[in-house]
Amino acid sequence: MRLLIVEDEKRLALSLAKGLTAEGYAVDVVHDGLEGLHRATETPYDLIVLDIMLPGMNGYRVCATLRAAGHDVPILMLTAKDGEYDEAEGLDTGADDYLTKPFSYVVLVARVRALLRRRGQAKGTSPVHVLGDLTIDTGARRVVRGDGAEGGEEIALTAKEFAVLEQLLLRRGEVVSKAEILEHVWDFAYEGDPNIVEVYVSALRRKLGARLIRTVRGAGYRLEVPR
């Protein structure tokens, strides 16, 4: 999952980015409203954290402009003032949720998760996926092998491995290109080799079984749906 943070308080923005990266999200940060609007238009983000008072263009306008252009990306607004007026206006312009500063980091992460989950449900995808003897819970970010009811054996994945698996899972049975995986799992600061995806796919095969992820030559990867 790839997130965009649009926040001009640089220390806050960077600490949010650091925390969310540790949770396994790919995170881009910009400090200006216009730049945020530009990024959000160019990149298929899974969620945007949007401050209201911003240089360039304020958060209300960024949100309203995105909605007017038909973007349905979940938007979590950050409001500086503790006032009903702000909240009403934020939700009016098409934001999905708001958080009043100062907020605790734990609450922010919970809201981000809830919004992503809500969007998954709207698309008809449950957070729990069963693939053969594997149970993958994208909400709790856990993979268990064996009968879930009996406990089973948890398989430890790194945050990035889980993020790659999640992208394949969201489109199980379809071919997902390396570029698409990169776009959702790595942030724009990543300028390395796109073949990094192969390294993660190899690790997933080693941990989850060689036949789960099929390489489709020249096209990408496909998560097999066991029958």
Distance between CA atoms of 147 and 144, rounded to whole angstroms?
8
Q: Is 23 in the site for Ca ion (CB under 5 A)?
A: no
Q: Is 53 in the site for Ca ion (CB under 5 A)?
A: yes
Considering the complex, what minimum distance in angstroms separates the CB of residue 35 from Ca ion? 14
Residues 153-192 that bind Ca ion (CB under 5 A): none
Which helix (DSSP H) or strand (DSSP E) does residue 205 occupy? Answer: helix 196-208
Distance between CA atoms of 46 and 182, rounded to whole angstroms?
13
Strands (E), 62-210: 75-79, 97-100, 128-131, 134-137, 142-145, 153-155, 175-176
Q: Which is nearer to Ca ion, 28 or 51 (CB)?
A: 51
Residue 156: CB partners within 8 Å, gap ≥ 6? Answer: 207
The binding track of 93-132 with respect to Ca ion, each residue x by CB under 5 A or -, is ----------------------------------------
Q: Which is nearer to Ca ion, 51 or 161 (CB)?
A: 51
Distance between CA atoms of 207 and 150, rounded to whole angstroms?
20
Q: Which amino acid is at 87?
A: E
Q: Which is nearer to Ca ion, 46 or 51 (CB)?
A: 51
Concatenating the DSSP letter of every residue in 84-123 gives HHHHHHHHHTT-SEEEESS--HHHHHHHHHHHHHHHHHHT
Q: Is 51 in the site for Ca ion (CB under 5 A)?
A: yes
**Taking contact as CB under 5 A, which single stretch among the options 7-15, 99-107, 109-117, 140-148 is the one that binds Ca ion?**
7-15
175-176 vs 220-223, strand pairing mode: antiparallel
- Long-range own/partner contacts, residues 144-153 (CB < 8 A, 24 or more apart): none
Q: Which is nearer to Ca ion, 8 or 133 (CB)?
A: 8
Considering the complex, what minimum distance in angstroms separates the CB of residue 6 from Ca ion? 9
Q: Which is nearer to Ca ion, 5 or 27 (CB)?
A: 5
Considering the complex, what minimum distance in angstroms separates the CB of residue 77 from Ca ion? 11
| Residue of 8, 32, 86, 180 that binds Ca ion (CB under 5 A) | 8
Residue number of the CB atom closest to Ca ion? 53
User: Which chain residues interact with Ca ion by CB under 5 A?
Assistant: 8, 51, 53
